[in-house]
Amino acid sequence: MSIIHLPIRAVLIVVCGFLSGCWQWECDPPMPALLRNLQATGGWWSQGCPPPEDFLRHSLKEGVSPELTRRLRARFPPESDGAAMERYLLAEGFQISSPCGERAPSVRRAQFHQEGCPYPMNAKIAWERAEDGKLAWIKGHVFYKYP
């Protein structure tokens, strides 16, 4: 088989592999311990926001990662200090935002996003902080980007 028959992408990957620094195998940022060995989940992700009415009429499953959610709840059970959890997530490399705005102002989200490696991980965590600063609920979502 001649090289002409190989897909262009395969040729580029092979050529790139021989060039120093062309392919970065280390993900940036590195994977924090909280996210190691997690499986990706299918389904839609609400970001913790109340879902639109049309989603409620369908039998679509929310793509919550049972493993990530379990880890988070073990470390920060309901009624624990929401500010302490936010400090922890910031230290682990997450960015924190408020995705729902006026619809649900007490819902917060943290996102971890990798780049520079063959299958970078994206993880999202949503939670609600009650008026007293305590966690009402928490859930996580994990997916990997394919090249």
What is the pTM for the complete model shown?
A: 0.74
Cβ 109 vs Cβ 97: under 8 Å: yes
The Cα–Cα gap between 36 and 13 comes to 27
- Quick: pLDDT tens for 69-90: 999 999 999 999 999 999 999 9
Q: Find the helix or strand (DSSP H, E) in which 114 lies.
A: none
How high is the mean pLDDT in each 10-residue block of the chain (147 residues)? 54 53 68 88 78 66 89 95 94 88 86 86 90 93 78
